[in-house]
Structure 1
Amino acid sequence: MDNIAGTKSSLTWAVHLSVVALVALWLFPTVGLLVSSFRTADQIATSGWWKSMFPSEQNLTLRTDAPETQAQIDGLYVIEGKLFEEGKDATISVWGISSRAIADFNAGDTAELRKGGTVTVQADGSYRMENAEPFEGSRGSRIFVTAETPPEFTWANYKNVLITGDATDNMTKAFFNTLTVTIPATIIPILIAAFAAYALAWMDFPGRALLIAFIVALLVVPLQLALIPLLRLHLGIGIGKGYLGVWLAHTGFGLPLAIYLLRNYMVGLPRDIIENARVDGATEFQIFTKIILPLSFPALASFAIFQFLWTWNDLLVSLVFLIDATGETTVMTKQIVELLGTRGGNWEILATSAFVSISVPLLVFFAMQKYLVRGLLAGSVK
Structure 2
Amino acid sequence: MDNIAGQKSSLTWAVHISVVVLVVLWLLPTVGLLVSSFRSADQIATTGWWKSLFPQEQNLVIRTERPDAQEFIDGVYVLEGNLFELGDAADGVVSVWGTSSREIDAYSAGETADLGDKGLLTIQANGDYRFENQSEFSGSRGQRVFMTAVSPPSFSLDNYRNVLFSNSSSSSMGKAFINTLTVSIPATIIPILIAAFAAYALAWMDFPGRALLVAFVVGLLVVPLQLALIPLLKLHLGVGIGKGYLGVWLAHTGFGLPLAIYLLRNYMVGLPKDIIENARVDGATEFQIFVKIILPLSFPALASFAIFQFLWTWNDLLVALVFLIDSSGDTTVMTRQIIELLGSKGGNWEILATAAFISITVPLIVFFAMQKYLVRGLLAGSVK
1:242-279 per-position Cα deviation (integer Å, ceiling 9, x unaligned): 11111111111111110111011111111110000000
In the alignment, is residue 97 of structure 1 matched against residue 89 of structure 2? no
1:100-140 per-position Cα deviation (integer Å, ceiling 9, x unaligned): 32221111222122543111111111112222222222332
SS in 2 for 1:298: helix
Output the CA distance in 2 between the equivalents of 1:120 and 1:170: 40
Q: 1:185 aligns with which of 177, 184, 187?
A: 187
Q: TM-score, normalised to structure 2's length? A: 0.94
Amino acid at match of 2:44: I
SS in 1 for 2:354: helix
Amino acid at match of 1:93: S
Alpha carbons 2:165, 2:172 under 8 Å: kept: no
Q: Give 1:164 deviation, angstroms.
A: 4.1
Amino acid at match of 1:57: E
Alpha carbons 1:160, 1:167 under 8 Å: kept: no
Q: 1:218 aligns with which of 217, 220, 244?
A: 220
Structure-to-structure mapping, 1:171-320, within 5 angstroms: 171-320=173-322
In the alignment, is residue 110 of structure 1 matched against residue 112 of structure 2? yes
SS in 2 for 1:369: helix
Alpha carbons 1:112, 1:118 under 8 Å: kept: yes
Question: What stretches of structure 1 of length at least 5 have no aligned partner?
Answer: none
Amino acid at match of 1:268: G
Alpha carbons 1:160, 1:166 under 8 Å: kept: no
Alpha carbons 2:164, 2:172 under 8 Å: kept: no
Closer, same or farther: CA 125–165 of 1 in aligned 2, 3 Å: farther
Q: Give 1:238 deviation, angstroms.
A: 2.1
Amino acid at match of 1:361: P
Amino acid at match of 2:121: V
SS in 2 for 1:324: coil
Output the CA distance in 2 between the equivalents of 1:233 and 1:71: 71
Partner residue in 2 for 1:131: 133
Amino acid at match of 1:162: L
Aligned residue pairs, count: 382
Alpha carbons 1:75, 1:132 under 8 Å: kept: yes
Question: What stretches of structure 2 of length at least 5 have no aligned partner?
Answer: none
CA RMSD of aligned residues (A): 1.9
Closer, same or farther: CA 17–176 of 1 in aligned 2, 3 Å: same
Please say which of residues 343-352 and 28-37 is displaced more in the overlay.
343-352
Identity among equivalent pairs (%): 77
Output the CA distance in 2 between the equivalents of 1:89 and 1:66: 21
Output the CA distance in 2 between the equivalents of 1:255 and 1:115: 75
Amino acid at match of 2:254: G
Partner residue in 1 for 2:16: 16
Q: Give 1:17 deviation, angstroms.
A: 3.4
